[in-house]
Structure 1
Amino acid sequence: MRTAALILATTALLNADITINDIDKLVNDIKQERIGLKDKEILTAKDPFIYPNGRMGRILHTGQTKKRRYRFVLTAIVNDHVKINRRWYSLNSKINGYRVSRVGKDHVLLTRKNERIRVFLKRSKSKKIKLFVK
């Protein structure tokens, strides 16, 4: 196996007709400054990517800050305690800057300044109640 690789490498080197002048020419071609697109042309260029949902889109920087979106999953309500995102919270406690302001039978009201989010219980597909007793 080694001899075959050695023979192949030797024949490749012997058949290569590259001289130092050819290498210098290639290096000089690489060194030359290439002219690219102007900034205005870049901004108006179409997006080259194809997206899986079929839409072609482009994200433009508008200078506005993105709003954070939190995902709240309510899985249990016991009196004034609620289980949101696998953690237990009580009435008036804070979660990601929101305050648990009201606890209903099947929902929780989260408030922050002028924002209000009503989170409903996540319904399981199974309607059977399972109790585990130790």
Structure 2
Amino acid sequence: MKDLNIDRLISLSIDDIIENLDSIFKELIQEIESFLSLEVINNFNVTYNDNTAQSINPEVLFYDIGVERTVSNDLVNVTIFNNYKNFIKEIVLREAYILFIPNNLKEDETIHIFITQRLISDLKKLPSIEHWR
């Protein structure tokens, strides 16, 4: 099995990721598809909302921090909010992993824990990962 290559995500600046979010996200999805030998469960659209911040709510699940997900037909729309800009690498990778999870398992706490642990392991080189934990 080949290694998952996320070096580009790690090396890009936050501004470069925001500016090229769609193409970077698609490249990341392709890399994960190749690594897992799986295809994403849903079609997707990912955007960055520079004008609106996600309200700080202690009841928001960790899994939902920084994003709003909406589903219409078989399309998942993911909006990343500007007040989580410093964690865009973590959010982009988390959202990419989530697209490989069947819908009936997306709320499973064990799945959330696995994705979080995998993300922390994958991004251990990032200084921001310590604050993400």
Q: TM-score, normalised by structure 1?
A: 0.18
Instruction: Report which of the two has the higher share of helix.
Output: 2
Instruction: Report which of the two has the higher share of strand.
Output: 1
Q: TM-score, normalised by structure 2?
A: 0.18
